[in-house]
Amino acid sequence: MEQALKMKEAPNIMLKIKAVEKDIMDLKLSILKTFAPSHKKNVSLKGIIKGIKITDKDISSAKKSLYSIIKA
């Protein structure tokens, strides 16, 4: 009798296991989509200021300007 009950419950357990496996697979795919690289190209700014010479004075002036904003 007990064995007959176990045999009837087996398909239900298998359905529950399959549902859990599907949920786990869906969760894995969701996580992979969230953390996967977006494959966007980095935009190069090289050449955008073609022909302009940047001196050490320009760099130090920019640093002073930037750090004065940060410290304030």
Cα Rg for the chain, rounded, in angstroms? 31
In the chain, where the domains are located: 1-36
pLDDT > 70: percent of the chain = 83
Q: How far apart are CA 32 and CA 70, in angstroms?
A: 37
pLDDT > 90: percent of the chain = 22
Q: pLDDT band at 56, cuts 50/70/90? A: very high
Report whether pLDDT(1) > 60: no
Predicted pLDDT at 4: 59
pLDDT per position as a tens digit, 24-49: 999 999 988 888 777 777 777 777 77
Predicted pLDDT at 3: 65
